[in-house]
Structure 1
Amino acid sequence: MALASTGCGGDEGESDIPTAASGGATTRSAGSDAQGGGDDVAAYVRAQRAYVKCLRENGVDAPDPDDKGTIDFGDNRALKKDAKFQAATEKCADLLAAVPESIEKDNQSKLTDEQIKVKQRYAKCMQENGAADFPDPGPDGLGQGDWDQSSAGAKRAIRICGPIVGVPESAGPGKG
């Protein structure tokens, strides 16, 4: 959650995305094709603005999200201990939206050829060991699509194939 935020300007490329502070002022369009996101990014930004508005209505001084919906909360450790912040995030949780795939891909660092080979080996292992619907990675090594993680076959495949990506076969008890 701790990513940079930018100010909101309403100059030449205005859209109907309201800021959380104004409740109706317009900002630069977050969904333009030039930014590579399309409608899913615009919808995500609108959802993030509604979330910030809710936080503010519940006593949290939250900054506006940037043009990709990122909200910079600063020092997360201090916020996690803040009872007012915790209460507000619980009240506003239903307004949180999933990050669009286009934004997630932009935020991921480029994989090396070796890392891509590992992802391909993992996908093949998953498919051969009970998760037939596990997606093949794209040319960049990143996943492409959803799969059913709840089936017995998928759980077995995760156990068998986990070591390929560094997940131990049987995780020990957690500390804490």
Structure 2
Amino acid sequence: MNKASVLLAASAAALALTVTGCGGSGDAKSGSSGSNPTLEKAVKYAQCMRENGVTNFPDPNKNGRFVIAAGGPNRNSPQFKKAQQACKSQEPPGITDDPAEIAKDQKEWLKFAQCMRKNGIQDFPDPQDGRLLVPRDKINVNSPQFKKALNACRDVAHVGGGAEDGNG
């Protein structure tokens, strides 16, 4: 995995599939969290994960979602799993390690990937473990062609977490 890759979180949160390419940091500190309970919970979860040893766990974006880029926390490490268990009560909606949910997301993201390829994004990858890893050195998520394909495929996958390019 290279640094030009970005993890696209595929979770079961009740959010529409979007790709953000807006300016600014996009983290929770740049917006008000007073009116968004999901964001508030996500901020607390991120703090808990860091307090429990995952020091490079990211802040959520303004929508309460986590964008974990290449080089981010290792979800398979014992420290991550220990912190995840310790922070379970603060887990925001949409974060899951449930094998049934991951399998469901895998199928949905596969449909989405196939649709993106059908609509002109030939290098769009298949999901892995219910998540998408998009090589940004091969795919420009801000291009008109990508946005057109995304619009055509928006309703294909019914996973909730959404897709983010990490620039958000």
Q: Same fold (TM over 0.5)?
A: no
Asked which structure has the greater RCO (Cα within 8 Å, sep 6+), the reply is 2
Q: TM-score normalised to the size of structure 1?
A: 0.36
Q: TM-score normalised to the size of structure 2?
A: 0.37
